Structure 1
Amino acid sequence: MSLVAIQDTFLEAYAELPKSVQQLVQKNIRLLREQKENELKMERYKDAIDSKVFLIRTGPHHSMVVVRPEEEKATLLAWVDRDESAYLWAKRKRFVINQYTGSLQMWTDVEVKGEISEQPNLFADYTDDQLLRLGIPDNQLPLLRSITTEQEFRKYKRDLPLEAFENLARLLNGTPFEIVVESVQEYKKPEEHLSYEAAMKSAYASRRIVVITNDKDLNPILDKPLEWWRIFLHPDQRELVEKDYKGPVRVLGGAGTGKTVVVMHRAHHLVQNKLKSTERILVTTYTKILANNIREVLATMCSEEEMEHIDIRPIDDLAKEIVEKAYKNQARIVDKDDVKVNAIWKEAIKEFGWEPEDLYFLKNEYHWVIQQGGAESWQEYLNTARAGRKKRITRELRKKIWDTAMWFRQKMEEKDLFEYIDILRKARNWLHENPDRYTYTYRFALIDEAQDFHPEAFKMIRALVPEGDNDLFIVGDAHQRIYSRKLVLSKCGIHVRGRSKRLTVNYRTTEEIREKAIDIINYTVDDLEKGIDTGIDTSLLSGTKPEIRNFVDAQAEREFVIQKVKELLSDEIKPNEIAILARFDHTVDRYLKEFEEQRIQAQKLSASMKSDQPKIYCGTMHNSKGLEFKIVFLVEANEEMIPPEWELESLEDEDDKTELMKLERSLLYVAMTRARDKVYITSFGALTKFLQENPKDDKETDQPKKVQTKESIILSESEIEELIHQVLSCSPDFFEKLVIQLLSKMGYGGSVPDSAFVVGGTGDEGIDGIILEDPLGLHKIYVQAKRWKNSVGRPEIQKFAGALIGKNAEKGVFITTSRFTIPAKKYAEQIPQNMVLIDGTELAKLLNKYNMKIAEIHQ
């Protein structure tokens, strides 16, 4: 049979066709695969600028656009439409194998106007050769050189090759050039440039081209042509799905980067290719709602027989089942603040002679140090670090705490009361003692939403799944941690060194939603190990910014939401594409009642909900984890509710308050990133401080002390503008040298000869300069210089922070000709390194103070 491949654009157009025309398309595809071209009405499209473009008549009014390279039996289906629309679409399209990526690219030949803009080119910091190495067709370099703003760049998304657009978008979001170009070369094979067939099959093309090998593959694609996540995988995703690993794997990635999609495809791949008839796969996550969602989707990907070998369940359900089967009694899971639990604590205080006011301290020490640290013996507790606990305690006091805690734990067991952590620990201990007695033999385990798993959960999973190839596949994102604290996999006996990958392309949310959501996270996040997640995500979608509305009271807010929902439904948005999310359950119930009164069908987010029902979803932000909707309303986002004012005030320890603030920020991030197209954020009274432009709280100030300089030089606005204009007129290389000279004049480097020097070059996107503070260079200041007109955002600061971490550096200076956004300043304040930010205004003042004449220096 002849090779036939389908491009994503073809499926997009196919989905819009009448059923009768779709049937004709299917017939034509079958004839192509069977090499019966003589039965097709196919001819070269003479008006197309690419000679490989052909048209296939499909009924009286429609045409398929296909690509047929010379002397190769390979066909790419590119588009299908009514005749005139198909001709117009195909006329200026080119289909060329890119020598740098080895894949078949599609792009539009765009005519570039000869007008010269006064604004600097958006990609001026990169040479033509560098852009070519990112997969940009050489014919499109003039187009790129004409673009001056990111908004203008995103308008050309459909005209550029998809992978080229992605790589450029990553650059704009602050990803270093070297990292982007490395990802381009990662999947290219030397022979891939030889044939169109190889180019269509290349890993790099897999994000938008699928090769049809049989009818079994073709039918599900044409049945659900818009469910692209089933059909197309980014090369990073495909590698994770199909690669054999010599042990556990860790996958990171922000919200919407396709982590759960990878988990499901990986499960399907393993059950088809790696599993014996007596073995099973465990797919586990944190919530029942997400577990049910994964089960529902996997059932459409796998056969009934394959599904019998995949066990999909929340981790706490699994642990509870193990304990109840092992000990033949029902385990009652209680919260640490349950009335029965508090009663036992009060008994323990009396038993060991504590004062009543010690209860808060004792419970927190037990929860955050003993339980979270996994201490099971006096010696383990003695060796457990008390990170974040401000009250210093003696060895003698520690022993008293331990004895009290063990007495408390024993009394809990006697009453068959267990905290969630206790169940995990008991299950793990039983599995260690009885390795061959558990009902199921799991060969592989795939863990989604790993950031919310307690370390004890991972210790239990490690005991449940024997070590071996492909044994554990761990997916998570610490930005979305809403239930637990920091996790270090190696401390759980799980080692992922050399087997980690980060997904960076956001497929769900628009860039506008992603940017607003990531700005909420104003602290560094871990990588599920001992490091920091410094990766930068990029969304390929564009849309409108989140809409924030404030009302005088709750009723006015609800009236707005109800009216907006009615408008969306009248615009043919499906009810189950809309979600109303709130911080608390009572708010959800109020909205459900309101919808009922308005005769609008709605249902509550729960483990028992029906996802195929034409009803609006109403649920808590916590229950939305792992789900997605077209439109999301975040309601009652009030200052006293996010974070809960009463909960914050109940905490005595400042570290506990800080941790609560982090969890609440992450919760808001999770809720916002459930949306694909649009987010409405509503409140009555004051809006949550996490979304206020200038919150009054000192911790939320947009003028962090760390990033202010001490210089205060009086210059007029026109003088500042003139100085910056002079700098922008010079090359990026000159700017880097200018910055280093300025810092030297300011006294940095002292008397050390040649203490300041430039290390970067055009497009380096990393460290631009270094200043030695001593003759041996033991102490260094690292410099980043951005000759920009656009604002420097949080991603650039995050990337520079990552570079400092890579150098094990403590000091950094970031200088720009433009300005820093508030999120950028906040992020610089939060990181452990001492980072000073100097914007264009401050730079001009410093250049004036130290008599730095741009023209003279340039000469």
Structure 2
Amino acid sequence: MGVIMSKEFHKAIDVDGSIKAKAWDFVTKLNQNADLTGLDLKIPKNPADKRVRTARVDLSYRAVLFAVSDDPEPMWVLAAIRTHDEAYEEAQNLVLDINPANGAMEVLRPKAIIKRVEEFRAKPTTPDAHQVLPFKPAELVALGINAEVAEEAVHAATDDDLLVLAGDLPEWQQQVLLDLATGTSLDQVRTIYDLDRPADADPVAAAQRPTSRMQFVYLQTDDELRRMLEGDFAAWRTYLHPTQRAVAYRPTYNGPYRLAGGAGTGKTVVALHRAAFLARQQNVRVLLCTFTRNLAANLQADIHGLLCADELSRVEIGGVDQIVRSVVHAVDGPPGQILGERDRESLWEESVAGSGVPADIAEVLTPTFLDGEYRAVVLALPAHTREAYFKARRTGRGIRLNRVQRAAVWRVVESFERGVASQGRTTFERLAVRAAEILADPATREQAPTFDHVVVDEGQDLHAGHWRVLRGLVAAGPNDLFIAEDGHQRIYGERIVLGHYGIETRGRSRRLTLNYRTTRQNLAFALGVIGNEPVVDLEGDDESLAGYRSLYGGPTPELRGFASGDDEVTHVVTTIKAWLAANVSAPTIAVLARRTREQERARIALKEAGIPVELLQRDGPGNDEAVKVSSMHRAKGTEYERVIVIGATEGVVPLDFVFEGKPQAEHGAIRGRERSLFYVACSRAREQLLVTWSGKPSPFIPQLA
């Protein structure tokens, strides 16, 4: 006995939570009762596939399913859940097939496919128009693409035309066409989608092919069913793209591995699955860490859907600074109080004033520059000495320093460190240095927590000290470090080259390019925000968004300017009211802002309008019935169905304040971080994006640039 569940069936339960419990009861009965008593199993009239059935979920809903085996036990493929009449209509038109090119299981709607093809043929064409697929129909058919669609696909002039034509094909076929349209070769497609492997007629074997697992999951035991149907139905837990699955579940990497990709490409998903894969081994300790506490809280919540209690006990999850603190605490006891931002600034200014700094460099030694120099260069040195600093590489620091100027900076650093020590306090960066020292000393390493495997998310935001600690937490060897990063989302850290810290990933890296989160329209807008901004990855190479694409279509992002902030926030409230009236769930809506001022204005206005609202929590999900209001920084790592970016005004995005008192040589890096921050905000939306401003718009808004 067994059940193969389609992603479409799963998604229907996710969308309509009212049938969740009944769907669970139905699937359990289907999995346990061979006689199907009480399920009212029916064969529709004139079905396209004789194996199709409908069965009662409750009085209003029926399941559409296929009987694919009776020997030795019944086997069912769950295709969809629909209302009573819709289920019978759907059942008449569905066909279950095994694609001969790669053995992938597919649920097809032949009539819908033919209708799309006929509509495409009827469209006016332009002679000698550009074609996005430089292939012959036979080459596409050989890959497993539907023959009727293949005949017309070679005439598509745009990616959008191609995806509309392919809209009723199985998802993997749509992705193959999009891959080819964006530069993937035929040979690469064959490898990704397992096209050189003979097909297998056995439904269980077919359902477990990597390409099938984009759309199907084989549920054999009650425990698997319970974990699936009692969870939050997040599809990422189950339906991975073959590329994601190959990266996450590869048995062995012979050293550190780096996974890159733009926002929404599933890097965090792969990191979670990788951590889960490693934790299923016996007698291991796995560290899963990220940059901030709220991101770590999200990881903590998500991984519970992948692992049982025993496996979870092998995983530690935390923000990287939490991990650093735990190492120091284990050996030295509780560390001193962390020096606050304002106190740091004052101490840097005092240190410059009292260190005899030459006039030609005094103006550039701002607290921001010194913080960065201290974190990225001084504390990254293997030896904390003046001589080592004179020889240090300062890649990406922006301001050149000769020997005399370096000597002045070193005097300032020494003064700063004396000031920190005299107060009995510390900084996160100094804690990282101490943690790295502890892990490098065999005598103290034994007292500190260490791990067999370390998985890192949001690696682009970690500083040099973090990497020295992470390198020290796990012995060099197979599957030691797995790192997910996106240089375009670097909103905290400086440029880092992993090889400088004993983490060599060259030859062991991959870039994801398929966006699973957002629509093509929202993606195009977010890419426009980045523009031609130069970005460097963790290997020190230029990062690219070439080939970055999405399957999903949706509304064009809305851009609205207003004469005043009051008018702007009134429009935000009116828009959210309309969304809620259209049955959009409140917690799937977010309002994001660069400054606290706009956050508070939006929160208060929504509250006064009677709309449930809360500020996004530092430690993960909060009120599951409220609209979320958040800073752009805290929204990192989140996603929402609908997003409003409020206050995208000149002087706010980018924020003028962050440039004040900074030398001109730093402005490029600051502006880059501000642009990346706006990109992060705009790429949180799955479906609808609204960007608003009052007065003059931000120069980062691409359609207005």
One fold, TM greater than 0.5? yes
What SS class does the counterpart of residue 342 from structure 1 fall into? helix
Q: Which residue does the alignment assign to 1:184?
A: 192
- Cα distance, 1:659 vs structure 2: 0.7
Does structure 1 residue 26 correspond to structure 2 residue 30? no
Which residue, 663, 666, 678 being the options, matches 2:673? 663
Which residue, 371, 375, 380 being the options, matches 1:371? 375
- Preserved contact between residue 511 and residue 540 of structure 1 (Cα < 8 Å): yes
Q: Which residue does the alignment assign to 1:772?
A: none
Pairing 1:706-717 to 2, within 5 Å after superposition = none
Amino acid of the structure 2 residue aligned with 1:650: G
Change (3 A) 1:122 1:383: same
- Bigger Rg, which one: 1
Amino acid of the structure 2 residue aligned with 1:643: P
- Cα distance, 1:442 vs structure 2: 2.0
Q: Which residue does the alignment assign to 1:554?
A: 565
Q: Which residue does the alignment assign to 2:479?
A: 470
Q: Which residue does the alignment assign to 1:775?
A: none
- Cα distance, 1:132 vs structure 2: 2.6
- Cα distance, 1:127 vs structure 2: 1.2
- CA-to-aligned-CA distance 1:689-717 (integer Å, 9 cap, x gap): 0115454xxxxxxxxxxxxxxxxxxxxxx
Which residue, 134, 151, 164 being the options, matches 2:173? 164
What SS class does the counterpart of residue 360 from structure 1 fall into? coil
CA distance in 2, matches of 1:285, 1:57: 45
TM-score, scaled to structure 2:
0.88
Q: Which residue does the alignment assign to 2:94?
A: 93
Change (3 A) 1:37 1:465: same
Q: Which residue does the alignment assign to 2:220?
A: 213
Change (3 A) 1:395 1:649: closer
CA distance in 2, matches of 1:225, 1:404: 53
- Preserved contact between residue 69 and residue 76 of structure 2 (Cα < 8 Å): no
Q: Which residue does the alignment assign to 1:243?
A: 250
CA distance in 2, matches of 1:392, 1:596: 51
Does structure 1 residue 603 correspond to structure 2 residue 614? yes
Change (3 A) 1:347 1:691: closer
Which residue, 288, 291, 298 being the options, matches 2:296? 291
- Cα distance, 1:581 vs structure 2: 0.9
- CA-to-aligned-CA distance 1:772-808 (integer Å, 9 cap, x gap): xxxxxxxxxxxxxxxxxxxxxxxxxxxxxxxxxxxxx
CA distance in 2, matches of 1:301, 1:274: 14
Q: Which runs of 5+ in 1 are unaligned?
A: 696-859
Amino acid of the structure 1 residue aligned with 2:522: I
CA distance in 2, matches of 1:152, 1:528: 36
Amino acid of the structure 2 residue aligned with 1:8: K
- Cα distance, 1:339 vs structure 2: 4.1
Pairing 1:616-635 to 2, within 5 Å after superposition = 616-635=627-646
- Preserved contact between residue 568 and residue 694 of structure 2 (Cα < 8 Å): yes
Does structure 1 residue 588 correspond to structure 2 residue 599? yes
- Preserved contact between residue 135 and residue 163 of structure 1 (Cα < 8 Å): no
What SS class does the counterpart of residue 365 from structure 2 fall into? helix
- CA-to-aligned-CA distance 1:202-233 (integer Å, 9 cap, x gap): 01111110011211111232345842122222
Alignment coverage as a number of residue pairs: 685
- Cα distance, 1:62 vs structure 2: 6.0
- Cα distance, 1:415 vs structure 2: 2.9
What SS class does the counterpart of residue 361 from structure 1 fall into? coil
Q: Which residue does the alignment assign to 2:105?
A: 104
Q: Which residue does the alignment assign to 1:450?
A: 459
Amino acid of the structure 1 residue aligned with 2:633: H
Which residue, 513, 518, 522 being the options, matches 2:527? 518
What SS class does the counterpart of residue 541 from structure 1 fall into? coil
Does structure 1 residue 255 correspond to structure 2 residue 259? no
- Preserved contact between residue 320 and residue 331 of structure 1 (Cα < 8 Å): no
- Preserved contact between residue 331 and residue 448 of structure 2 (Cα < 8 Å): no
Amino acid of the structure 2 residue aligned with 1:684: S
Q: Which residue does the alignment assign to 1:810?
A: none
Task: Select between 228-237 and 401-410 the one with higher mean Cα deviation.
Answer: 401-410
Does structure 1 residue 425 correspond to structure 2 residue 426? no
- Cα distance, 1:138 vs structure 2: 2.2
Which residue, 420, 428, 437 being the options, matches 2:446? 437
What SS class does the counterpart of residue 338 from structure 1 fall into? helix
What SS class does the counterpart of residue 103 from structure 2 fall into? coil
Task: Select between 115-124 and 77-86 the one with higher mean Cα deviation.
Answer: 115-124
Change (3 A) 1:380 1:91: farther
- Cα distance, 1:94 vs structure 2: 3.5
What SS class does the counterpart of residue 626 from structure 1 fall into? coil
- Cα distance, 1:680 vs structure 2: 1.1
- Cα distance, 1:22 vs structure 2: 3.3
- Preserved contact between residue 247 and residue 468 of structure 1 (Cα < 8 Å): yes
- Preserved contact between residue 14 and residue 225 of structure 1 (Cα < 8 Å): no
CA distance in 1, matches of 2:140, 2:317: 45
Change (3 A) 1:592 1:86: closer
Change (3 A) 1:19 1:485: closer
- Cα distance, 1:641 vs structure 2: 0.6
CA distance in 2, matches of 1:353, 1:492: 31
Q: Which has the higher contact order (CA 8 A, sep 6+)?
A: 2
Amino acid of the structure 1 residue aligned with 2:299: I
- Cα distance, 1:241 vs structure 2: 2.8
Does structure 1 residue 679 correspond to structure 2 residue 679? no
Q: Which residue does the alignment assign to 1:5?
A: 4
Q: Which residue does the alignment assign to 1:49?
A: 48
CA distance in 1, matches of 2:573, 2:560: 14
Q: Which residue does the alignment assign to 1:577?
A: 588
- Preserved contact between residue 53 and residue 66 of structure 2 (Cα < 8 Å): yes
- Preserved contact between residue 280 and residue 440 of structure 1 (Cα < 8 Å): no
CA distance in 1, matches of 2:143, 2:494: 38
Change (3 A) 1:615 1:65: closer
CA distance in 2, matches of 1:410, 1:196: 70
What SS class does the counterpart of residue 65 from structure 2 fall into? strand
Q: Which residue does the alignment assign to 1:227?
A: 234
CA distance in 1, matches of 2:335, 2:58: 66
Amino acid of the structure 1 residue aligned with 2:555: T
What SS class does the counterpart of residue 517 from structure 2 fall into? strand
Which residue, 317, 331, 335 being the options, matches 1:330? 335
- Cα distance, 1:252 vs structure 2: 1.4
Amino acid of the structure 2 residue aligned with 1:539: S
- Cα distance, 1:76 vs structure 2: 2.0
Pairing 1:761-780 to 2, within 5 Å after superposition = none
Amino acid of the structure 2 residue aligned with 1:338: R
Which residue, 332, 341, 346 being the options, matches 1:342? 346
CA distance in 2, matches of 1:435, 1:275: 26
Q: Which residue does the alignment assign to 2:389?
A: 381
CA distance in 2, matches of 1:619, 1:264: 24
What SS class does the counterpart of residue 518 from structure 2 fall into? strand
- Preserved contact between residue 634 and residue 681 of structure 1 (Cα < 8 Å): yes
Change (3 A) 1:18 1:595: closer
- Preserved contact between residue 12 and residue 225 of structure 1 (Cα < 8 Å): no
- Cα distance, 1:580 vs structure 2: 1.2
Which residue, 253, 258, 275 being the options, matches 1:267? 275
Q: Which residue does the alignment assign to 1:615?
A: 626
CA distance in 2, matches of 1:178, 1:121: 20
CA distance in 1, matches of 2:286, 2:69: 46
- Cα distance, 1:324 vs structure 2: 4.2
Amino acid of the structure 1 residue aligned with 2:566: Q
- Preserved contact between residue 188 and residue 204 of structure 1 (Cα < 8 Å): no
- Cα distance, 1:615 vs structure 2: 1.5
- Preserved contact between residue 133 and residue 181 of structure 1 (Cα < 8 Å): no
- CA-to-aligned-CA distance 1:406-459 (integer Å, 9 cap, x gap): 343344334334343222112111221245333434222221111101122011
What SS class does the counterpart of residue 475 from structure 2 fall into? coil
What SS class does the counterpart of residue 126 from structure 1 fall into? coil
Task: Select between 189-198 and 35-44 the one with higher mean Cα deviation.
Answer: 35-44
Change (3 A) 1:600 1:641: same
- Preserved contact between residue 260 and residue 486 of structure 2 (Cα < 8 Å): yes
- Preserved contact between residue 347 and residue 416 of structure 2 (Cα < 8 Å): no
Which residue, 315, 320, 332 being the options, matches 1:315? 320
Does structure 1 residue 527 correspond to structure 2 residue 520? no
- Cα distance, 1:358 vs structure 2: 1.1
Q: Which residue does the alignment assign to 1:117?
A: 124
Pairing 1:63-78 to 2, within 5 Å after superposition = 64-69=63-68, 74-78=75-79
Change (3 A) 1:646 1:102: same
TM-score, scaled to structure 1:
0.73
- CA-to-aligned-CA distance 1:499-558 (integer Å, 9 cap, x gap): 322233222111111110011112243332122333532222211111111011111111
- Preserved contact between residue 98 and residue 137 of structure 1 (Cα < 8 Å): no
